[in-house]
Amino acid sequence: THTHTHTIYLQCVCKYKSLKSYIHQERSFVSAEVGSSVTLQCSYGTEAARYYWYKQSLGQKLQIISISYKFAESGTFHDEFKDNPRFSVENIDGKSQLSISDLKPSDTGTYFCASGISFVFEFGEGATVSVKNPVLENTAWVRQSESGAVQTGSSVTLNCTVQTGSCGGEHSVYWFRHSGESHPGLIYTHRGNSNECEKSQNTQTHTCMYDLPIKNLSKSHAGTYYCAVASCGQVLFGNGTKLDLESEAVSLSLVYFLSAALIFTVILSVLLAFTLHKMHKRNCLFCYQVHQDAGDLHYAAVNANQLSRSRRHRKSSECVYSAMTQ
């Protein structure tokens, strides 16, 4: 009996674990203007019994929007989303759509879909919605430092310049990182005020500068860093600064290659110098022997034309050698 119960338990665990492959929501970033509409998509597997939609504003905890059952065409809304005609959910054939109409700046945030079987939950990748107000775009903006490649182990400081607009007062600054291997994550929050900003003389706008220092860079720091500011009733996002980490292995390989090339060049130079020295020494020895022999031996070639002899022996050469001794 104990063995049988244990086997059933393992089968249930494997079934719940396989739920992770039955929900799909593409990670995306949607930019929309105030008053427009947006529709977010999510797909569920056949094992998902309940469908969920959540919202997460910058620096805030998750808020549940709606809960739907598998065969229900719409969902039940909760909290501030209840009886709000701007929000609607439609479920058809394992797919769920969350529609938001007449967008407001407060709708800015990341929207997650989720599925559940019993107590097991699985979340989608999340879709970030940024609602912009064209009226305030001319007075409020966020600019970030340019992207670039940096060496692992070094340090870098990311810059974010913010113009908060004429509303002034306090504002919140957020830094979060997005990489292909993980979800966008909030890494730093700062509460700004007018004391840290420069006020323009001609207008009521405030220009602020914020830095994000990162020391001892590693591969885990790679990604795109976004600066976001909550000000004037809206959240403004920068274009992002992408950090590309150059691997230490590549740099070390280059150092090893150049070192090996230098050693090879030195060895080759030594061998060539040794070979030239041997050739020069051999030539000098040959010249010395010829000089010595020339001092002791004289030779001459004597040509004799003997007309009296036969035509066959008309010409002949005789060498006469003489040696001089001291």
At 101-118, the pLDDT tens digits run 999 988 999 999 998 777
Residue 15 — very low, low, confident or very high, per pLDDT cuts 50/70/90?
very low
Rounded to 5 degrees, what are φ and ψ at 84? Answer: -100, 105
Domain residue limits, the chain: 23-132, 134-245
236 vs 233, higher pLDDT: 236
pLDDT in tens, 46-71: 778 888 999 998 778 899 999 998 88
Question: How high does pLDDT run on average in the chain?
Answer: 75
Q: How many CB atoms lie within 10 A of CB 144?
A: 23
pLDDT in tens, 263-301: 988 898 888 888 887 887 777 665 555 555 555 544 444
323 vs 206, higher pLDDT: 206
Rounded to 5 degrees, what are φ and ψ at 75? Answer: -120, 170
Q: 23-132 and 134-245 share one CATH topology?
A: yes
pLDDT in tens, 121-160: 888 889 999 888 776 655 677 888 888 888 888 888 888 8
pLDDT recorded at residue 304: 45
* Two structure tokens written together for 12: 């249930």
* Class for the domain spanning 23-132: mainly beta
Q: Which residue has the tokens 């980490």?
A: 245
Instruction: Give per-residue burial for 60-77: e unless 16+ CB within 10 Å, then b.
Output: eeeeebbbbeeeeeebeb
Q: Does residue 98 surpass a pLDDT of 90?
A: yes
Give how far the C-alpha of residue 100 lies from the chain's centroid of Cα atoms, to the nearest Å. Answer: 33
- Give the mean model confidence (pLDDT) for residues 164-180: 74
Q: Residue 23: which residues within 8 A CB-CB, separation 6 or more?
A: 42, 43, 44, 45, 48, 113, 114, 115, 122, 123, 124
Burial label for 146, CB within 10 Å (0-12, 13-18, 19+), is exposed
- Give the mean model confidence (pLDDT) for residues 24-29: 86
Give how far the C-alpha of residue 153 lies from the chain's centroid of Cα atoms, to the nearest Å. Answer: 15
pLDDT recorded at residue 231: 72
Q: Does residue 92 surpass a pLDDT of 80?
A: yes
Please report, to the nearest 10 degrees, the dihedral formed by the alpha carbons of residues 185, 44, 118, 50 taken in order.
100
Task: Indicate the fold that domain 134-245 takes in CATH.
Answer: Immunoglobulin-like (2.60.40)
Burial label for 112, CB within 10 Å (0-12, 13-18, 19+), is buried
Rounded to 5 degrees, what are φ and ψ at 315? Answer: -125, 140
pTM of the entire predicted model: 0.51
- 37 close to 135: Cβ distance less than 8 angstroms: no
pLDDT recorded at residue 42: 93
